[in-house]
Amino acid sequence: MLGLAMSLAFGDGRPFGGDGVTQQKAVVEKYTDGFRRGDLAQILSCLTDDVVWALHGAKTLVGKDAFAAEADNAGGPIPELTLDRMVEEGDTVAVIGHGSGSMGGDRVDFVYSEVFTFADGLVSRLDTFHIWLGEVPA
């Protein structure tokens, strides 16, 4: 168990989660930190090979390769992300958060919710709900 806990750490070496945080919540923190840092390898390390990513209102992707292409295709500046709340039940962690990013040189804020479903300690399904606040540049 010590080896696994050591592998779940922020870039500066601090462990994800901390006291009382479950393994699944620590994986969600690691995944989110990967997006914050633009670290695709870190993001992918949290996923099963056959992960399903449902971007509600847009598309559904299947597999790590499709996930990587979409995440990498986002391009642009790294978003600022804040996890406001995580709720866990069984094999599922639900997240509510907010953030901002740059689109066309303008800062755009958003809120999001993600539902992470786990299998064998990794994310096997991700349901993403994303709402832009204000006007989004074309």
For the domain that residue 53 is a member of, what is the CATH number? 3.10.450.50
Question: Does residue 21 belong to any structural domain of this protein?
Answer: yes
Residue closest to 114 by CA, chosen among 132, 89, 131, 97: 97
Eight-state DSSP code of residue 138:
-
Question: Does residue 85 belong to any structural domain of this protein?
Answer: yes
pLDDT in tens, 19-48: 568 999 999 999 999 988 889 999 999 999
Range of the domain at 6: 2-133
pLDDT in tens, 46-100: 999 999 999 999 999 999 999 999 887 666 678 889 999 999 999 999 999 999 9
From the DSSP assignment, how many helices (H) and strands (E) are in the chain? Answer: 4, 6
Eight-state DSSP code of residue 9:
B
pLDDT in tens, 4-16: 333 444 444 445 5
Question: Does residue 138 belong to any structural domain of this protein?
Answer: no
Residue closest to 73 by CA, chosen among 86, 91, 61, 87: 61
Question: Does residue 30 belong to any structural domain of this protein?
Answer: yes
Question: Does residue 66 belong to any structural domain of this protein?
Answer: yes
Total domains, the chain:
1
Question: Does residue 48 belong to any structural domain of this protein?
Answer: yes
Tell if the pTM clears 0.85, that is, is over it. no
Question: Does residue 86 belong to any structural domain of this protein?
Answer: yes
Question: Does residue 119 belong to any structural domain of this protein?
Answer: yes
